[in-house]
Homo-oligomer: A and B are copies of this chain.
Amino acid sequence: MTKKIIKLTVRDVRFPTSLEQHGSDAMHTDPDYSVAYVVIETDQGMQGYGLTFTVGRGTEIVVCAVEALSALVVGKSLEEIVSDFRGFYRLLTSDGQMRWIGPEKGVIQLATAAVLNAVWDLWARSEGKDPRKLISCIDFRYITDALTEEEALDILVKAQTGKQQRVDQMLKEGYPAYTTSCAWLGYSDQLLKQLCTDALNDGWTKFKVKVGADLKDDIRRCSLIRQMIGPHNTLMIDANQRWDVGEAITWVTRLAEYKPLWIEEPTSPDDILGHAAISKALAPLGIGVATGEQCHNRVMFKQFLQASALQFVQIDSCRLGSVNENLAVLLMAHKFKVPVCPHAGGVGLCELVQHLILFDYISVSASLDNRMCEFVDHLHQHFRSPVVIQNAHYMPPKDPGYSCEMLESSVQTHQYPQGQVWKKLQ
């Protein structure tokens, strides 16, 4: 019995997080964490839930793009889609007219992710996937010079060894996480101290600090956190694209004494060669470069890997074109021997990306070395199956699907601009 998709709805849902400076960084000073929230429905009444994350204004543009893509989805059956998922992926990303306004980047790529996340959610509720089937979801166009289909299959087949052990391990221990919740750029030192104390008490050992707006502030904040967490816990710093290449090298060198594991997004997310120069300059200091949350497609990640421009791959469940494209990046990262440490936080990103990173450990990399997944303790209460964190680890989700179904009451209250929360703020 086929499942025909007969309806797609998309809503603009925003949370007024800027009121309390949650999520603030050097470039996004007042984010209202938001999503374009997609629900697809089959003729048998099954639903699939998907979303893409945004930070407020402009969400309506992504909603408009999802509506434009909707015509390519509604009327198709799930079976038809997954029997040639690569083809369907390409249909969405390479429509002869719509690709002009991307291609595979920006608004249209975020919209593609929202739609496909819903399709994966629907699919995940119905059956298991073997390596060959997964490979058939990947569009290898433009990446065969770095990873062929045969190599990708080979990686997945090899990782079948020890798979059950890793599943059991994850069910017991969970996947290691780090926290970004302690040190948003807009937080006062006092709040930062308090949150850091709480986090240490809760078992956190890895901490990320936002930097990049003012060097003196950064020195004070990094010094403070390093003091609080001690020499053996892990510190990462994140500049959110604030610097030029030379500036990044100078600035991070000044922060080297606080021993950050990585500098995240030192410069433009498009600057592969710039990241390579920064990587080279910082390597002697033992500081790696991490980037990816605004890396828009597999072609960009391919080059970051080819150019040794990053030492940590930060995939994003909504910036890339859903699971399909994330699979390509996980497999390339494995081939280039670079660890994947996903970007998360926002709204629903933790819920989504936990699936990808568990898959990476269980079915691709089989390693936890230098690997951890970002966690931000925020807005999870709006989801039907929120992430479960135990002792600073992501515990594998048990409900079927891709975990991004929101509570209908939350959606309605936060819909923009007509929801109650926004009406009150006007």
Contacts and interface: CB of A to CB of B under 8 A. Distances in A.
Given A65-B58, A145-B246, A270-B299, A105 B108 contact: no
Contact of A68 (B60, B68, B273): B60
A269 interface: yes
A24 to B, nearest CB: 9
Nearest to A64: B64
Contact of A142 (B95, B110, B267, B272): B267
Contact of A61 (B65, B141, B302, B306): B65
Among A54, A60, A274, residue most surrounded by chain B Cβ atoms (within 10 Å): A274
Given A141-B244, A244-B144, A271-B142, A58 B98 contact: yes
Given A100-B28, A142-B271, A61 B64 contact: yes
A100 B52 CA distance: 11
B144 A246 contact: yes
A318 to B, nearest CB: 10
A101 B96 contact: no
Nearest to A36: B101
A277 interface: yes
A30 B99 CA distance: 12
Interface in A81-123: 94-110
B145 A274 contact: yes
A32 interface: yes
Interface in A257-306: 267-274, 277, 294, 296-297, 299-300, 302-303, 306
Given A28-B96, A141-B244, A270-B299, A60 B64 contact: yes
A31 interface: yes
Given A61-B61, A270-B299, A299-B270, A105 B103 contact: no
